[in-house]
């Protein structure tokens, strides 16, 4: 009986994993923590926050939205602060957390309590429509893929309607 023996050069990487060249990457040990996963590998579902481009995209949306609010005769008076910067920062952090990004908003401010925080301001259907116009402009400017744009728009239209607290103008 004759046995053939195949000699393979084995390598040990800096994490102590043993493998043979590219076979190391396909080894179960590779994915068990011997070295970091390849950059394109994800350990679970990708958040909507990541799908749309994360902080950069949300920052652009919120900046464009507040540029519209700054000159809006209906919405601007609802902001008690002279500088819209703090409101912009709060909204940016809220949207980042809502869509699956960092939880900085809750760490700084606690539960969002959106209706409670907006209760002092008369939000009527006209204010809602102005708010939505500026948000639509912001979404159009960043040009998300249609599916993500629709998901974002569905959320903001629902949220805007939820904020209406008076029918008096």
Domains of the chain: 1-41 (no CATH), 48-163 (1.10.490.10)
For position 81, what pLDDT does the model report? Answer: 79
- pLDDT band at 113; cut points 50, 70, 90: confident
How crowded is residue 18: how many other Cβ atoms within 10 Å of its Cβ? 12
Which range, of 40-49, 59-68, 95-104, averages the lowest pLDDT? 40-49
CA dist 128 and 64 (Å) reads 17
- pLDDT band at 121; cut points 50, 70, 90: confident
CB 89 within 8 A of CB 62: no
- pLDDT band at 20; cut points 50, 70, 90: very low
């Amino acid at each position: 009986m004759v046995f053939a023996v195949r000699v393979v050069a084995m390598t040990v990487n800096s994490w102590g994993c043993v493998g043979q060249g590219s076979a190391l990457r396909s080894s179960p040990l590779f994915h068990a923590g011997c070295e970091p996963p390849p950059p394109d590998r994800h350990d679970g579902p990708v958040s909507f926050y990541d799908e749309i481009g994360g902080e950069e995209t949300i920052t652009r949306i919120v900046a464009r939205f507040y540029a519209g609010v700054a000159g809006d005769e209906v919405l601007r008076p609802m902001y008690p602060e002279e500088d819209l910067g703090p409101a912009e920062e709060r909204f940016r952090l809220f949207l980042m957390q809502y869509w699956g990004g960092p939880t900085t908003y809750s760490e700084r401010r606690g539960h969002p309590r959106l209706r409670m925080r907006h209760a002092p301001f008369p939000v009527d259907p006209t204010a809602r429509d102005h708010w939505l116009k500026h948000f639509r402009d912001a979404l159009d400017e960043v040009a998300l893929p249609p599916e993500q744009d629709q998901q974002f728009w569905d959320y903001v239209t629902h949220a805007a309607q939820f904020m209406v607290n008076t029918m008096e103008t």
